[in-house]
Homo-oligomer: A and B are copies of this chain.
Amino acid sequence: MDYSKLNGLIPAVIQDADSHEVLMVGFMNDEALARTRESGYATFFSRTRNKLWMKGETSGNRLAVTDILVDCDDDTVLVKVKRQGDGNVCHTGERSCFYRKLDTP
């Protein structure tokens, strides 16, 4: 993977393996991606807290990885997941972080 473009990070798009909804976008560094692959649960690098976090580790709403795909220039991953717990991925309680629509002309 090429981590050089964003200071050691790559975007990780999280997609529901069954419904195909895009649930969230987080960032991973090399260690977060390695942990994700080893543990089978999506693990990110928090830019605000400056540390790794396994999504749902405390709430139980973990994201069990079914597939990880890499893009053509090795700087982004697409992580397909099955939702555990109550299945609400967003911290607002919504199912997906993308719950608001922008107006388009």
> A92 at the A/B interface (Cβ < 8 Å)?
yes
Task: Decide: B105 and A40 in contact? CB cutoff 8 A.
Answer: yes
| Interface, chain A (partner B; CB < 8 A) | 5-6, 11, 13, 15, 20-22, 24-25, 37-38, 40, 47, 65, 67-73, 76-78, 90-92, 94, 97-105
Complex copy number for this chain: 2
Given contacts A22-B15, A25-B76, contact A68 B6 (CB under 8 A): no
Contact at A102–B69, with CB atoms within 8 Å?
yes
Instruction: Compute how far the CA of A101 lies from the CA of B25 in the bound complex, rounded to whole angstroms.
Output: 18
Nearest B residue to A67 via CB reads: B101
Contact partner of A98 (CB less than 8 A), chosen from B22, B71, B97, is B71
